[in-house]
Amino acid sequence: MNGNCEYQGVGEAPKKDGFAHFMLKEIYEQPQAFQKALQGRIQQGQVKFAELNLTREQVKRWDKIYIIACGTAYHSGLFGKLLLEEFLGVAVEVEIASEFRYRHPLLNENTLAIFVSQSGETADTLGALRKAKNSGATTLAITNVVGSTIAQEADYNLYLGAGPEIAVASTKAYTSMLIMQYLLSIYLAQVKGTMPEQKKAKILTALQELPEKAQQILTQREFYPEVIQKIKNVQSLFFIGRVFDYYIALEGALKLKETSYIHAEAYGAGEIKHGTMAIVTEETPVVAVAVQKSVYEKTVHIVKEVVAKGAFVSAVVEEGDTEMQKWAHHVIYIPQIENIVSPILAVIPLQLLAYYTAVARGCNVDQPRNLTKAVTME
Ligand code: M6R
């Protein structure tokens, strides 16, 4: 099944609107997608979801939260875990749907299970949703395709509104999922009364700045040719970062693998020392994400180490950063923004890196070999 079918009129082919590929078009549609994800959901300094009418008693009852998804959607769930644990004070587990559905998770009526799926038709995510429902958990879906099975079967559903995503590699749906993770975690904490107003105000202001700042990133094409030359013919490369930057690194690695067929792995920057450093050489470029201030120095430290092993390093940092350029061979700058949301911007250069590398290697960018847009069969 085509996960985007409801967006296309009968007989109407999706259009690239002058872009060489759907993936590039969808990367460039992110500012509008961000606006759609935010539209109507921030009112007078509060997060509002017309789709949710949760009471404080309901939210307080949840003593365990799961976020369950596959692939890129799973990567967005990692953000949800950190945000919910911090804002709501409840333990959150993020699980790969194909694993979750075949084990014995602790689920009951005090559990909230959140399912994230662009298509809303992914077989494993749907199987996990049915399992959670049968165990008495409250289920909440975050989906993009209107009327999908997951959207219909979950107790609650939040639409991303990112519009049709045709390229197999998810880009605008992913960043819209990230925005939704911020909005949802703030909303739940707001209902429960655990979110400091000042902190909420800062984050909501920053989320509203995202469309404009994403647009700035999309106009800065000068960063990519040099790094593409360095990575387009390698066998393998690594992405590193810490905390949110690590989750972005995971997404960057997946994007590069699926579009350009280069082997790529992501590590929490410190973890690379526990084995993988043995294969870091001049043959293995490293892409470092270092936009989180709280862990910035730690990531710089690992960058110095991989440079000493001979690796070419390209780093994504915030504008105004003067330290990283002393160590990394190549630096990509993103606009400054409230630090907790900066990783949403930092992933855009990684999407472009994957796209341009795939093009340079002559790959079938929109329809990579062996993959389908929605994995509706196990
Ligand atoms: O439609 P879904 O969000 O449930 O799809 C989940 C994954 O199959 C999907 O995110 C996949 O990893 C993408 N091709 C990544 O770009």
Q: pLDDT digits over 128-178, tens only?
A: 999 999 999 999 999 999 999 999 999 999 999 999 999 999 999 999 999
Strand 46-47 with 42-43, pairing: antiparallel
**What is the widest separation between alpha-carbon atoms in the chain?**
57
What is the spatial distance between Cα 159 and Cα 165, in angstroms, rounded to a whole number? 14
HSE-CB for 124 with a 13 A CA cutoff: 18
Task: Look up residue 72 and give its amino acid.
Answer: T
What is the reported pLDDT for 265?
96
Q: Is the pLDDT of residue 345 over 70?
A: yes
DSSP 8-state secondary structure symbol assigned to residue 109:
T
Q: Which residues line ligand 1 (CB under 6 A)?
A: 3, 70-73, 117-119, 122, 125, 168-170, 254, 258, 374-375
**What is residue 11's predicted lDDT score, i.e. its pLDDT?**
52
Q: The tokens of 214 are what?
A: 């994403």
Distance CA 171, CA 61 (A): 35
Q: Which atom of ligand 1 is nearest to the CA of 171?
A: 16
Residue with tokens 């950190």: 82
pTM: 0.94
- Rounded to the nearest whole angstrom, what is the distance from the C-alpha of residue 243 to the centroid of ligand 1? 22
Residues 6+ apart with CB under 8 A from 268: 240, 241, 242, 243, 246
The domains located in the chain, with CATH, are: 22-214 (3.40.50.10490), 220-360 (3.40.50.10490)
User: Best mutation site among 74, 118, 166 for ligand 1, i.e. most ligand atoms within 8 A of its Cβ?
Assistant: 118
Yes or no: say if 292 and 321 are a contact pair by the CB < 8 Å rule: no
Partner residues linked to 316 by β-bridges? 289, 332
What is the position in ligand 1's atom list of the atom closest to the CA of 69? 4
* The ligand 1 atom nearest the CA atom of 371: 14
Q: How far is the CA of 117 from the centre of ligand 1 (A)?
A: 7
Q: Are 131 and 108 in contact (CB under 8 A)?
A: no
Q: What helix, strand, coil percent values describe the chain, rounded to 5?
A: 50, 15, 35
| Cα of 119 from ligand 1 centre, angstroms | 8
Q: How far is the CA of 197 from the centre of ligand 1 (A)?
A: 35
Cα–chain center distance at 320: 25
Question: Could you give the CA distance from residue 241 to residue 317 in angstroms, rounded to a whole number?
Answer: 11
Strand partners, 117: 143
CA-proximal residue: ligand 1, atom 7 (nearest) = 71
pLDDT in tens, 183-227: 999 999 999 999 999 999 999 999 999 999 999 999 998 899 999
Number of Cβ atoms within 10 Å of the Cβ of 377: 8
| Residue with the larger pLDDT of the pair 275 and 205 | 205
- Choosing from 27, 375, 376, 377 the residue with most ligand 1 atoms within 8 A of its CB, the one to mutate for a pocket test is 375
Q: Is the dihedral of CA 202, 205, 211, 212 positive or negative?
A: negative
- Determine the Cα–Cα distance for residues 12 and 19; give it in Å rounded to an integer: 18
Q: Whose CA is nearest to atom 8 of ligand 1?
A: 71
